[in-house]
Amino acid sequence: MRIIPAIDIIDGQCVRLSKGDYNTKKVYNENPLEIAKQFEAHGIEHLHLVDLDGAKASHIVNHKVLEEIATKTSLKIDFGGGLKTDEDLKIAFESGATQITGGSIAVKNADVFKGWIAKFGADKIILGADANNEKIAVSGWLEESDEDLIPFIQGYQKEGIQYVICTDIAKDGMLQGPSFDLYEKILKDCPNVKLIASGGISTFDELPRLKDLGCEGTIVGKAIYENRISLKQLENFIISTK
């Protein structure tokens, strides 16, 4: 199981929110590259980089941060937040993203998102399936849609999607543990999905449980920044699972 630390960006700074609420913003570092280099130094190979300004603006904003991390580390970066057009994707990939995540676009403009899968390949496109009460949430989680989570994922599997990041919004940033039951349900109902668990990770012990469930990756955010999980623990986990 891949360990994928998260860096969320507002105004070029590394921040965290609780339940996606911009009013709960907490700045952890003014220099995201510094954080990314710490991750790399502990054997971490992947990074989940979220452009929160982009999510609000509905177009890519913090691509310079992406470019800086991509050129000055060897991290494989999946990038998301406000990607709406082919031009946004072009900028993201040219700035060094290995993969991009599309969430709201997959709900609000399915034809565009399906076009990305066809154009760039399913290995480059991650479906962002962020949910509240098993309903897909959109627009930086500011809106709930009528889409049910499982059928939403299943529909995109038919379009070729392999990678899915699922965040249970009620858990995100709350440090109360991830939605094990929800992930178990997804893995059962959506065979062969490469599920990346996100939201609520609070202790190291939760990581082996997610691995045993069958998650392909886990995004870890606030637990790192609040020193609930150390980078040394993550480094040892990565070594032990290779």
Is 220:4 a contact under the CB 8 Å cutoff?
yes
Is 178:210 a contact under the CB 8 Å cutoff?
yes
- The CATH number given to whatever domain includes residue 177 is 3.20.20.70
Query: In angstroms, rounded to a whole number, what is the distance separating the alpha carbons of residues 59 and 51?
Result: 9
Q: For 5-109, where are the alpha helices, taking DSSP H only?
A: 32-41, 52-57, 63-72, 86-94, 104-108
pLDDT for the residue 104: 87
Joined tokens for residue 241: 């699972």
Instruction: Quote the strand ranges of 44-120, DSSP E.
Output: 46-51, 76-80, 99-102
Task: Give 10-residue mean pLDDT values along the chain (242 residues).
Answer: 97 90 91 97 98 93 98 98 95 98 92 97 96 81 78 97 92 83 96 95 96 97 94 97 86
Is 51:88 a contact under the CB 8 Å cutoff?
no
Is 129:150 a contact under the CB 8 Å cutoff?
no
Joined tokens for residue 70: 């991509």
Longest distance between any two alpha carbons in the chain, whole Å:
43
Query: In angstroms, rounded to a whole number, what is the distance separating the alpha carbons of residues 178 and 174?
Result: 10
Query: In angstroms, rounded to a whole number, what is the distance separating the alpha carbons of residues 102 and 116?
Result: 10
Output b/e per residue, 99-130; b: 16+ Cβ within 10 A: bbbbbbbbbeeeebbbebbeebebebbbbbbb
Domain that holds residue 30: 2-240
Backbone angles phi, psi at 221, to 5 degrees: -125, -95
| CA 22, chain centre distance (Å) | 17
Query: In angstroms, rounded to a whole number, what is the distance separating the alpha carbons of residues 232 and 180?
Result: 24
- In the chain, the number of structural domains is 1
> What residues are annotated to the active site?
8, 130
